[in-house]
Chains A and B, each alone.
Chain A
Amino acid sequence: MNPFLPFEWIAAVRFLMEGRAQTALTIFGAAVGVAVVVFMSALLVAVQANIFTRILSAQAHVVISAPKDEARALINTKTFAEIATIQAPAQKLRSIDQWQKIRVVLAAIPDVVVVSPAASGAAFAVRGDASKAITLNGIEPDVYYKIVNLPTMITAGTAALAAGDVLIGNQLAINLGVSLSDKIHIRSATGTDEIYTITGVFDLGNRGANERSVYVPLRAAQSLLGLQGGASSLDINIVDPLAAETMAVRISAETGLQADSWIKTFDQLFTSLKTQSISFGAIQFFVGLAVALGIASVLVVSVVQRSKEIGILRAMGASRGQILRIFLLQGAIVGLLGSIVGSAMGTGFVMLWRIFARNADGTPFFVITLAPSLFVTAAIVATLTGVLASLMPAVSASRLNPVDAIRG
């Protein structure tokens, strides 16, 4: 007997050790619950992180563009009544007014990491008889690559972009039947036509984007799209991608320009991820409930089995509080040990996932990691669950009348 432990601890541990098989099964039950939660938490975090990474590797956090053209109603200046509604005009490609100055202002905001101007618009890529609609992106490679890490997505050639060079998506290359060093025409909606040499082919990880995306130097795009010296958008990356919407609202308010965050752009995806998180929360709750009921049912039986012993302890002077604590501690110990075993099992599941969940080429679906905080949280939650689960049996044990308990 450990002289440094209070009586309640000693009794709780001894009672658990006495019913070894029963205790082991209860701990195992709790461990399975914890393992499921640990594994699913790691999986969910990895899936969501993977989705965010994929999106953000090809998307700026905030995109600033010129205000949209709006139709204004004709108002009678005397009566202020609306006398005519003008049909909304077609949106034209426009440059952001004074974009160079705005760029400097935006770059000075502490949370902003990089500001990249772009001239983007619709065009056609033409090779012989083949003509494909494309999104032409004129960029400053040095800054743009800090937002979209295109060099890492290059599958052929290089990401270097000099005058007369063009980078195209691998799907567009297939559709046009072109490869590195081939020349293609790029024709804008205004009829301007230029010939470019393909110096790089990339894979953005999205078939649609690979069919449409074409990159040329900013100056070339300005010329093709009729935006001499202009920029149709300013792409911004900030420190915390999840604060993008707040930043977009702030910029819009301060500059009067249209600012769209990636969160708004992908709002349906965010809704899906939120639904996924809520579903997972519900699963966690029910797993926790099942674990708690398992612990509670075993302790309820234990109280009945040990009623005589409880009676003896009460007769020898044990207080109701001491009896209560003995059973609460049993719940806590089962929960804590369950969390330790469960964390080990969850780690095992993750390792098995890493081994078996792979693409056809042997690369992993995505990186799944186990944060130490996950184990700490699991231990705290499982221990608290054990304590809560043992509350009812503990209270009933503490309320046992010693006389009745001893008589059985």
Chain B
Amino acid sequence: MVDHASSRADDAPVLRLEGVRRSFGIGTDVEIEILHGIDLVIQRGEFCALIGPSGSGKSTLLNIIGLLDRATAGKVFITGEDTDLLGDAELTRLRSRSIGFVFQNALLIPAFTALENVMMPQLVDKGWPDAAMRENASRLLGRVGLEQRKDNLANAMSGGQQQRVAIARALAMNPALVLADEPTGNLDTKSAEAVLKLMREVNLANGTTFLIVTHNMELAEQTDRIIEVVDGMVVSGTTRPTNASRNKLT
């Protein structure tokens, strides 16, 4: 598998936000600012949680970090690259190669098998040899314990299995950063623990950075760092003792 992230400066943080603001217009005149100048740095290999009450701006911040939305003001650097300078097509390319997404409902594409869903980011990216894509997807499915079910259609799998496929899909391009939006929100306790454990294993083995948005404090406490957003501002970004959290999972 080609490591696209490695082509960028290794010493640059995976994510750097400088004074990021995001406003939404209501009608023609009134504007509401959701994010009020956020500064944040996340280094390579960090395993972080993003917490905050509903309406605090977590999802807006996640969309901006995931390059699905643009900030109204401020700078967003992904692996050292200033995203302000990029056009839509370049932004899309950077997103596909540097960022993996895991959503609350897995959001696999039901018309495709588990294997094909994992291959999807590379299929969309084009230019990947079929054999290489299959080998990569099979390996990733094996890693999440679902190689035997690779030919099952996505909607024929349980919620926990779908979420594991979604994690494998997020890793398909070997991204520097994986953004997980409530990845265990719809799972039972056992499945949720398995999913979190899997993400941690990937984090440790590959050095992939994870930013997990959650309401679940128990889950957040198992990460290395908790970033709290309140009223559109980062109020704390504690780095926790990593060994303690890792020991809980291993």
Tell which of B9-17, B63-71, B186-194, B233-241 binds the partner: B63-71
Residues of chain B within 8 A (CB-CB) of A316 are: 96, 101, 120-121, 124, 169
**A403 CA to B70 CA in the complex, in Å?**
11
The answer to whether B96 and A317 touch across the interface, beta carbons within 8 angstroms, is yes
Tell which of A7-15, A45-53, A169-177, A278-286 binds the partner: A7-15
Q: B25 to chain A: closest CB distance in Å?
A: 15
Q: B71 to chain A: closest CB distance in Å?
A: 13
Q: Which of B37-69 contact A (CB under 8 A)?
A: 63, 66, 68-69
Residues of chain B within 8 A (CB-CB) of A320 are: 88
The answer to whether B123 and A7 touch across the interface, beta carbons within 8 angstroms, is yes
Residue of A nearest to B113 (CB): A1
Query: Is A319's beta carbon under 8 Å from chain B?
Result: yes
Query: Is A153's beta carbon under 8 Å from chain B?
Result: no
A406-B124 in contact given A3-B130, A317-B93, A319-B92 (Cβ < 8 Å):
no
Q: A285 to chain B: closest CB distance in Å?
A: 35
Q: A16 to chain B: closest CB distance in Å?
A: 9
Residues of chain A within 8 A (CB-CB) of B107 are: 308-309, 311-312, 406
Q: B72 to chain A: closest CB distance in Å?
A: 15
B103 contacts which of A6, A7, A322, A406 (Cβ < 8 Å)?
A406
Flag A115-134 by CB within 8 Å of B: 1 or 0 each: 00000000000000000000
The answer to whether B92 and A18 touch across the interface, beta carbons within 8 angstroms, is no
Residues of chain B within 8 A (CB-CB) of A10 are: 123
A7 contacts which of B92, B93, B124 (Cβ < 8 Å)?
B124
Query: Is A75's beta carbon under 8 Å from chain B?
Result: no
B125 contacts which of A6, A308, A311, A317 (Cβ < 8 Å)?
A317
Query: Is A162's beta carbon under 8 Å from chain B?
Result: no
Query: Is B112's beta carbon under 8 Å from chain A?
Result: yes
Residues of chain B within 8 A (CB-CB) of A308 are: 107
The answer to whether A315 and B66 touch across the interface, beta carbons within 8 angstroms, is yes
Residues of chain B within 8 A (CB-CB) of A24 are: none
A: interface residue count bin: 20 to 34
The answer to whether A313 and B109 touch across the interface, beta carbons within 8 angstroms, is yes
Residue of A nearest to B115 (CB): A1
Query: Is B228's beta carbon under 8 Å from chain A?
Result: no
Residue of B nearest to A317 (CB): B96
Residues of chain A within 8 A (CB-CB) of B108 are: 312
Query: Is A402's beta carbon under 8 Å from chain B?
Result: yes
**A318 CA to B125 CA in the complex, in Å?**
7
Flag B164-181 by CB within 8 Å of A: 1 or 0 each: 000001000000000000
Known A314-B68, A403-B68; 15 more pairs at CB < 8 Å? A7-B123, A7-B124, A10-B123, A18-B110, A312-B109, A313-B109, A313-B124, A316-B101, A317-B92, A317-B97, A317-B121, A317-B124, A319-B92, A320-B88, A402-B68
Measured CB to CB, the residues of B under 8 A from A are 63, 66, 68-69, 88-89, 92-93, 95-97, 101, 103, 107-112, 116, 119-121, 123-126, 130-131, 169
